[in-house]
Structure 1
Amino acid sequence: MVFSRAFAVTVVFLTALVNAATYTGKVQVINGEGSSNGFLKNWNSGFDGVDYGGNPLLVSITTNSTGPLNLVAINAVFPPPYYLGAQSSSYHPNLAPGSDVIVALTNVNPTSPGAPPDASYSESAIWYFDTVTKKLTPQWINTDGSRPATYIAYDIKYNKIFLSGDVNAYNAVFNWKPASPVSFYLVSN
């Protein structure tokens, strides 16, 4: 019994390695109408906005598992680490429906897939990647291990992109800087 279980785990692991592929490109920000807002910025302050200067961030993602993956910057002008993830505050670490709490997109140290935030309230392995459509979808894990609805939101006024559990609840509180839901897609360079 132990041998057959170990064999099955080995087969799954080897299959993941054989089927692993690495994709590189720019992350395109698509608005709710299906139009492009541009690509993630590559500025010394980070990647949490849209590039207007012609120097978009290039990223790499390796599909070596079926779970959440890491997205890694490959031409970053910002300082390391180069894992593109998210970081919450220690006061408001969890996303939820009806809550105005947001999680900042930022460069973070690598974390385990599916794990709650680390000691700095950061997560890196939050991305699901559809190899057919090239869509990148985040999944924030709350401190209790729950998996809330996670939306990418874009505040065009301040050129900020972040994660939210409820964009309408955020907009009700921060109506002077409203955000809209957007999607990320990997575009080969």
Structure 2
Amino acid sequence: MRILSFIPALAVLVTAVAGVATPPSCGDSEIACGPDPTTIKRDFLEHPARDGHALTNAELVRRGLPLNAPVLRRGSPVRRTNPSSVPPPPVTITRTGVIEVLNANNNNVLGYVSKNLVNGGAQYGYDPSIANALIVSFTTDQSGSGSDLDISTTNSNPSWPLLGLVQGRDDTDSNFTPGSYEYGYLGGVANPGTQPGDRPTLIDNSYFIGSPRTAETAVWTFNSATGTLTPVWINQDGTTPALQTWTQSTGLYIGGDQGAFFARYPAPVTPVTYVFVPQ
């Protein structure tokens, strides 16, 4: 009788072991389908953000950052007799504040993009308390609006000082299309980030579970009239999909098909929009 009673338990054990080699059948959120955070494998080592002074003055102007300090050279001073041919730097506007997360169905405020990473540290989520809000800054030209913007963060993990988009854990490529569940995270990305128009790039970012994930940073469009911040993703072939943004279990996601994502991870999802609030 003891032998017979042991057989069902053995069958359960064999099934569990066999299941390790196959994709999980997720009946909950994408976050819940991830590995145990205590077993996280880091693909990128955390490190302090690179010093912005390593960038050229031209790159600093493009990003709206202060120019490098002048280097004093020995020798007799030479009086300039002709006007400089170098044009003055463009007039820019730098904004600092937080990002509201709104329910796109009714414009109710769900909370703020949080300074705390969720999903084992892979992505940003939202928090109802402004005390936990991520502080961000970005620079536009004098018109006030702008596209292909980098957004910097000041009170989150210093290894990833840029707010960008990161390829999702279960994706097989870096493309977002209608009919595909594949998705991305709102995540942290290391300096120097990616350039406007860059395709998905393997660069140090907040995702560190399993194999490395691609990311993009110069992806934000700001509308000064409405305050909305809209992300844009570029696929591997250079096309720009109609990007959707949503939340599930407080995690913040992007993708080409929210419905297909929900079919794979059937916990409730809510479409969201982002609104910048100056501080």
Instruction: Return the TM-score normalized by structure 2.
Output: 0.57
1:48 alignment partner, one of 114, 124, 133? 124
Contact 1:111 1:125 in 2 (8 A): yes
- After the TM superposition, which residues 30-179 of structure 1 pair with which residues of structure 2 at under 5 Å, given as runs? 30-31=102-103, 32-43=105-116, 45=121, 48-53=124-129, 54-64=131-141, 66-76=146-156, 78-89=157-168, 91-109=172-190, 110-120=193-203, 121-155=214-248, 158-175=249-266, 177-179=267-269
Matches of 1:154 and 1:128, distance apart in 2: 20
Residues 146 and 15 (structure 1 numbering): CA distance in 2 closer, same or farther, change over 3 Å? farther
Residues 63 and 47 (structure 1 numbering): CA distance in 2 closer, same or farther, change over 3 Å? farther
Task: Note the residue ranges of structure 1 that are not aligned, 5 or more in a row.
Answer: 1-13
| Aligned position for 1:4 | none
CA RMSD of aligned residues (A): 2.1
Contact 2:102 2:108 in 1 (8 A): yes
Task: Note the residue ranges of structure 2 that are not aligned, 5 or more in a row.
Answer: 1-86, 204-213
For 1:8-60, what per-residue CA distance to the aligned partner results, in whole angstroms no more than 9, with x for missing partners? xxxxxx79922x21111110000021100010111264761112452211100
Q: Are 1:22 and 2:99 an aligned pair? A: no
Contact 2:110 2:128 in 1 (8 A): no
Larger Rg: 2
Matches of 1:86 and 1:186, distance apart in 2: 17
| Aligned position for 1:180 | 270
For 1:48-84, what per-residue CA distance to the aligned partner results, in whole angstroms no more than 9, with x for missing partners? 11124522111001114943111110222x2322100
Number of residue-to-residue matches in the alignment: 171
Percent of aligned positions that are identical: 32
Residues 66 and 134 (structure 1 numbering): CA distance in 2 closer, same or farther, change over 3 Å? closer
Contact 1:105 1:161 in 2 (8 A): yes
Instruction: Return the TM-score normalized by structure 1.
Output: 0.82
Secondary structure (helix, strand or coil) at the match of 1:153 reads strand
> How far did 1:96 drift?
0.5
Contact 1:167 1:180 in 2 (8 A): no
Contact 2:246 2:254 in 1 (8 A): yes
Residues 125 and 16 (structure 1 numbering): CA distance in 2 closer, same or farther, change over 3 Å? farther
For 1:130-153, what per-residue CA distance to the aligned partner results, in whole angstroms no more than 9, with x for missing partners? 011110001011111110011111
